[in-house]
Structure 1
Amino acid sequence: MALSLAVSPCPNDTFVFHALVHGLIPGAATVDLTFADVDVTNTAAERGEFDLVKVSYAALPWLLGDYELLPCGGALGRGCGPLVLTRHGHDGDLTGATVAVPGDRTTAYLLFRLWSRGNAPKRIEVVPFDRIMPGVADGTYDAGLVIHEARFTYPRHGLTALADLGEWWESDTGLPIPLGAILARKGVVDPRAATEWIRTSVSMAWADPDASREFVLAHANEMEPGVVDQHIALYVNEFTLDLGREGLAAADALLGRAAAAGLTPAVPTLLS
């Protein structure tokens, strides 16, 4: 029976999982792929809907009872953090503002809550990712929290970056920013085997980038090829192959700070 796999249609995920999804890894399980944005998978995983699933690190406190964190396949790095965007001329004061965010259990929103303490907006609205920048540009929202390819495209919407939460996090902690994690359902997926499959899939993607090109572009939400390449180069890095001690320390720092601030339940330390 096939294992159910849920990842986003973003270029980093389609690039990483191309070989696994297409049955190119000898001995790997067959997978049944579902594309879903991370705000969907965060809550779907809580219901146990997928065997292998990409979620936000911020959602781990609600998921680690039923899932195990895999040390590969996710999104973690430097210079890749969420941005807080406003229209040109905004004074930067978010007190009383309405802010659009891509999900209430995303790492982006958790970082925003940690960053904005003392300058908290009046209202938060969860908005589909592709509507955030247009909504800020037309005045529907005072500010927007964006991720992924928006780092490369927000100036086209006439917007200004009020804050780069990745830069803020890195300067404050010295650690990379933990964005997306890959989880394996306990009792269903052998985590060691799944780790080997995913690492092989990553290595195959790097060895022959052209092999996944058609698959990546087909699901890239009309991103032009140049932006797709930037996206993959930024989000698929050494931490995708192996979180290592630094990656686990980054996750511990995020979840520890969130728990200390009363924003999430506490979880056991990941770095042992």
Structure 2
Amino acid sequence: MAFVALSIAVSPCPNDTFVFHALVHGLIPGTPEINLTFADVDVTNTAAERGEFDLVKVSYAALPWLLDDYDLLPTGGALGRGCGPLVLARTADQDLTGATVAVPGDRTTAYLLFRLWAADQKPAKIEVVPFHQIMPGVAAGTYDAGLVIHEARFTYQRYDLVALADLGEWWEADTGLPIPLGAILARKGAVDPAQATEWIRNSVSMAWANPDASREFILANAQEMEPDVLKQHIELYVNEFTLELGRDGLAAADALLQRSAAAGLTPSVKPFL
């Protein structure tokens, strides 16, 4: 398939800039020119529904609205263990019933997990807030609780917040599977999924082989600049599932989407396995 240019949208988070550095900088032989867009996942979830990108990072929770037009790629995404979203509050006795809760997007995996976990609780109000504003908002009392992702799990104590729940721990204890956070999709008819998979897999391998090569790119786009936090973020979210989803990764996606459909939270989708 010939390209004039390939449009790609990922987040500016360190795991994505680490993974996609080689691809977007033309270091993978045979790749087309790349038009890169950085956007938070709540933005890419809806942009993908409009067909705005050829390759796009989205939440697994958004897949039921996207799989008619996109193929799930088995590489480049974010799954893992010990990396789940956290529910934060100012005090450990915060009751979520009647509370105002800030979330990073209404079609994020984090929010879907929250809805499954909090099925017997009734927050009064859910507000979608850019994730970097959630912890300051909870600390200031604007929100009673907040659902956080990414490097916030390493920094929330700085805001004098406590974790009411680790939704990754809850998910893993309940399913025995990794938590499926971010997926890479290829738009049907715009890019060959097998070819795109090879490009991204090579980019992941190149990042691991020479981790210093992407350092300036990561620092230029990271919202958390401290080297130790960046290192922890990449080590947590770039793992064996980033290179290859495998059976456990696909089983995790199935478990999330089948459970959410059974609960009436998302449309049903055909299982991957």
TM-score band, normalised by the shorter chain? over 0.9
Amino acid of the structure 2 residue aligned with 1:22 = H
8 Å Cα contact 2:224-2:230 kept in structure 1:
no
For residues 17 and 151 of structure 1, what CA distance do their matches in structure 2 show? 23
For residues 223 and 98 of structure 1, what CA distance do their matches in structure 2 show? 30
Partner residue in 2 for 1:116: 118
1:37 aligns with 2:40: yes
Partner residue in 2 for 1:247: 249
Pairs aligned (count): 270
1:223 CA drift (Å): 2.1
**Runs of 4+ residues over 2 Å off in structure 1:** none
8 Å Cα contact 2:14-2:218 kept in structure 1:
yes
**Unaligned 5+ residue runs, structure 2?**
none
Partner residue in 1 for 2:178: 176
Match of 2:268, SS? Answer: coil
Match of 1:96, SS? Answer: coil
For residues 59 and 183 of structure 2, what CA distance do their matches in structure 1 show? 6
For residues 129 and 223 of structure 2, what CA distance do their matches in structure 1 show? 17
1:222 CA drift (Å): 4.0
Partner residue in 1 for 2:61: 58
Aligned to 2:214, which of 209, 212, 215?
A: 212
Amino acid of the structure 1 residue aligned with 2:95 = D
Partner residue in 2 for 1:156: 158
Q: What is the TM-score with the length of structure 1 in the denominator? A: 0.98
Please provide the CA RMSD for this pair: 0.7
Q: How does 1:1-272 map to 2 (within 5 A)?
A: 1-88=4-91, 90-271=92-273
* Percent identity of paired positions between Structure 1 and Structure 2: 82
For residues 193 and 228 of structure 2, what CA distance do their matches in structure 1 show? 35
Match of 1:114, SS? Answer: helix
For residues 37 and 19 of structure 2, what CA distance do their matches in structure 1 show? 15
For residues 96 and 22 of structure 1, what CA distance do their matches in structure 2 show? 48
Amino acid of the structure 2 residue aligned with 1:55 = V
Q: What is the TM-score with the length of structure 2 in the denominator? A: 0.98
Amino acid of the structure 1 residue aligned with 2:27 = L
> C-alpha offsets along residues 214-268 of structure 1, whole Å, 9 cap, x if unaligned?
1011101142111000000000000000000000000000000000000000000
1:119 CA drift (Å): 1.1
1:130 CA drift (Å): 1.1
8 Å Cα contact 2:94-2:144 kept in structure 1:
no
For residues 222 and 99 of structure 1, what CA distance do their matches in structure 2 show? 23
Amino acid of the structure 2 residue aligned with 1:137 = A
For residues 225 and 98 of structure 2, what CA distance do their matches in structure 1 show? 34
For residues 126 and 266 of structure 2, what CA distance do their matches in structure 1 show? 17
For residues 223 and 84 of structure 1, what CA distance do their matches in structure 2 show? 23
Amino acid of the structure 1 residue aligned with 2:81 = R
